[in-house]
Each structure stands twice: as C-alpha cells, then as structure tokens.
Amino acid sequence: MDVLTLFGLVAVSLMLACYALEDKSPWFILAFAGSCGLGSAYGFLQGAWPFGLVEAVWSVVAVGRFRRVRREQQSRSLRPMRSVAD
C-alpha cells in the first residue's frame, strides 16, 4: 500500500467515524467537514477530480450544518428558564 492510498484510507475512515458520531456533539460535524476536506485532497491528488470536487462540496455543507447546530444550541442555552411556579 503506497502513501497516497493510506492517506485516502485514513481520510475515508475518519469521515465514516465522524459521521457515525455526529449526534454526540456538533464538533463531530466539524470533524466530518475536515475529513471531507482530506478526502477532497485525496481525490485531487490521485487524479479523480470529480471525487475531489464532491468531497469539497460536502465539506462546505458540513461546515454550514455545524454553524447552524451551534447557533441553535447557543440560542437554547440563552433562553430564560421558567420557574416552577409558572
């Protein structure tokens, strides 16, 4: 196995692991975006530019999802708590 193939294997394995853990924390969504970036780099390096392009798009989409989820979490944590008497 050459270095480029190993790099691709690691990138895709990280994508799979982060995707599986996305419900645990929004940081896994960001890690998924990063691993998609690695997958994109792998695609371009091996000459499969359609794969590299699609992975780059997935990376951008995942960053957007991360930002949305973080914003939703922050808005939930800023809401005033209702008292027991309400």
According to the model, what pLDDT value does residue 19 have? Answer: 97
pLDDT in tens, 50-61: 999 999 999 999
Helix-helix angle 26-46:49-78, to 10 degrees: 170
Mean predicted confidence (pLDDT) in 58-82: 88
As a whole number, mean pLDDT of residues 62-86 equals 82
- C-alpha–C-alpha distance, residues 59 and 74, integer Å: 23
Provide the residue ranges of all domains of the chain, joining segments of one domain with +: 3-78
Specify the pTM: 0.85
pLDDT digits over 15-44, tens only? Answer: 999 999 999 999 999 999 999 999 999 999
Asked if residue 86 has pLDDT above 60, the reply is: no
Mean pLDDT, residues 2-22 taken together: 97
